Amino acid sequence: MKKPDTLQGSLDLLVLKILSRRPGLHGYAIMTAIKDASGEVLSAEEGSLYPALHRMEEAGWIGAEWVTKENGRRARTYRLTTAGKSRLSAEETRWHAVSSAINRVLLEA
């Protein structure tokens, strides 16, 4: 398996983090949650959100479930699996390591 690059990794990290806080979100809700939580700085494109969701589902980090919403439409909701939780902590550690390294570089320069 290819090593996920940082950008993709950060999308994964965001999605996993959001889902760990609020399980049972569907795709659109995840997108808005990312936007809101980042103070509208970060936005997940639909074009990369859904492939990322489906990839992580196949990897077994998140599980999906169809629920019927009040408007009668079915929505596919996602939640974290046990594998996803350990993945999240690994991603977090990695993010901290990378960001502190980048910070160090910026400070020294």
Chain residues binding another protein by CB under 8 A are 26-29, 32, 46-47, 50-51, 54-55, 57-60, 69, 71, 73-76
Kindly state the smallest distance separating residue 20's Cβ from another protein, in Å: 21
Kindly state the smallest distance separating residue 53's Cβ from another protein, in Å: 8
Residue (24 or 60) nearer to another protein, CB: 60
Nearest Cα to Cα of residue 41 among 85, 10, 74, 3: 10
Distance CA 87, CA 11 (A): 13
User: What does the DSSP 8-state code read for residue 73?
Assistant: -
